[in-house]
Amino acid sequence: MGAQLRVDGVRHYRGGHEVLHVDSLDIHDGEQVCVLGPNGAGKTTLLRLLAAAERPHTGRVSVDGTDIEHGGIALRRRAAYATQRPGLLSTSVARNVTLPLAWRKVPRKRRRDLADDALRLLGVAHLADRQAAGLSGGEQQRVNLARALAIDPDVLLLDEPAASLDAESRLSFLHDLGRALTGRTTTVVHVSHRADDALRLADRAIALVDGNVWQDDTADAVIRRPADANVAALVGYDNLLDAHVRTDGEVTVRGEHTGLPWHGEPGPVVVAAFATGVCVGSSASAGVPARVERVVPGPGYRTVVLEGNPPLLASIPLRAPAPSAGQHVRISFDPDLSRVLPRSVATHRGPAPAPAPSPRVPAHAATASGT
């Protein structure tokens, strides 16, 4: 089974500065959610509040309607919290996974069966008798997740478990993690700074910027229809260009028409475009004038770097003719890969005084083993 998580009127501070401000957030029973945000956005703080590793300075965090602060150890044991650093014990892999089960009085034979199943799902069953200290970082993180899954938690909290892995190991890890979560009713909250994590592991994405919820929608919608330039930068749009909407509704960049649609008010906006959505044409074609700074070869495509502050990036297939450095060109925007966005959807919240710190919950209250 899963659990319903709710955050109401939460404000949290560090060093006198507000690091999290969430008025209302519901995560439904069995839902898989990815919280996206840059470094310092408040992602880990939110996760620690959900894990009862810290108490909010103001507001309430609840599980199935019960305040985490008053739920006691029984409530906290319903969750497993896997941090970026696995924190494995200096013993065998199998014992690392079975110990949390022993603390829950699970019979010995059943413990090993559950541990074997979890290790198999994460692709490390062959390491069961190895010492955890001798494993690679990727192997340790897989064991860490197996330890969390073996207790069959109602809530699984993941703090960027793939952050330290190289590209190849990361893709394999996320594939196996997604497979391990398939068919479970566990409520999963996964924080990351990478939008592709949301597409691979989540039904829903929450964009967190400066400690505030900027956008809350399906993972696909947050990436394809970001709320503003802040979210577009977060989810990986390569280009963010200052633009202007005229009174006749035309969207212009550097004074030239883009042909992109906009249904809001005239004024300053941002054109967000993936590099693959920027089309490079001759100087005689229609579009926004630009000058090629350099052309960078890549696997299957070339990246054309166009002068600007910051530079504008365009990707063209290897089979297509490429412009030369110094050449004057015109660019246009593919409407399927470009968006016209407001600069910001948030209103500025003035600085608020930090209240006196609330007592911290003991560090052992929530760990990857779900104690």
pLDDT for the residue numbered 135? 94
Q: Cα separation of 224 and 336, whole Å?
A: 9
Strand runs (DSSP E) across 161-282, as ranges?
A: 187-192, 204-209, 212-218, 239-245, 251-253, 256-257, 267-273, 278-282
What pLDDT digit, counting tens, does each position of 102-117 carry? 999 999 999 999 999 9
Q: Cα separation of 301 and 24, whole Å?
A: 44
Pairing of strands 312-317, 301-306: antiparallel
Taking alpha carbons only, the member of 97, 138, 151, 102 closest to residue 119 is: 97
pLDDT for the residue numbered 285? 84
Q: Cα separation of 315 and 313, whole Å?
A: 7
pLDDT for the residue numbered 355? 43
Residue ranges and CATH numbers for the domains of the chain are 5-226+358-365 (3.40.50.300), 229-341 (no CATH)
Please name the residues in contact with 19: beta carbons below 8 A apart, sequence gap of 6 or more.
Answer: 12, 13, 40, 42, 45, 211
pLDDT for the residue numbered 249? 93
Are the C-beta atoms of residues 33 and 27 closer than 8 Å to each other? yes
CA-CA distances (angstroms) from residue 64 to 4, 26, 128, 154?
5, 11, 35, 11
Q: How much is the CA Rg of the chain, to the nearest whole Å?
A: 24
Q: For each of the chain's 371 residues, which pLDDT tens digit applies? A: 689 999 999 999 999 999 999 999 999 999 999 999 999 999 999 999 999 999 999 999 999 999 987 766 777 788 999 988 888 999 999 999 999 999 999 999 999 999 999 999 999 999 999 999 999 989 999 999 999 999 999 999 999 988 888 888 888 999 999 999 998 999 999 999 988 888 888 989 999 999 999 999 999 999 999 999 999 999 999 999 999 999 999 999 999 999 999 999 999 999 999 999 999 998 878 899 999 999 999 888 999 999 998 899 999 999 888 899 999 999 999 999 999 999 887 543 433 444 444 433 333 333 454 43
User: Which sign, positive or negative, has the C-alpha torsion 85, 91, 94, 97?
Assistant: negative
Please name the residues in contact with 126: beta carbons below 8 A apart, sequence gap of 6 or more.
Answer: none
Strand partners, 24: 8
Please name the residues in contact with 362: beta carbons below 8 A apart, sequence gap of 6 or more.
Answer: none
pLDDT for the residue numbered 353? 41
pLDDT for the residue numbered 346? 57
For residue 4, the number of C-alpha atoms closer than 13 Å in the C-beta half-sphere is: 7
Q: Which residue stretches of the chain are H helix?
A: 43-50, 68-76, 93-103, 108-121, 137-150, 167-181, 195-201, 219-224, 229-234
Question: What does 122-159 look like in DSSP terms, one character per residue?
Answer: TT-GGGTTSBGGGS-HHHHHHHHHHHHHHT--SEEEEE
pLDDT for the residue numbered 86? 87
Are the C-beta atoms of residues 281 and 246 closer than 8 Å to each other? no
Q: Cα separation of 270 and 222, whole Å?
A: 16
pTM here is 0.86
What pLDDT digit, counting tens, does each position of 254-289 carry? 999 999 999 999 999 999 999 999 999 988 788 999
| % of the chain with per-residue pLDDT over 70 | 92
pLDDT for the residue numbered 125? 96
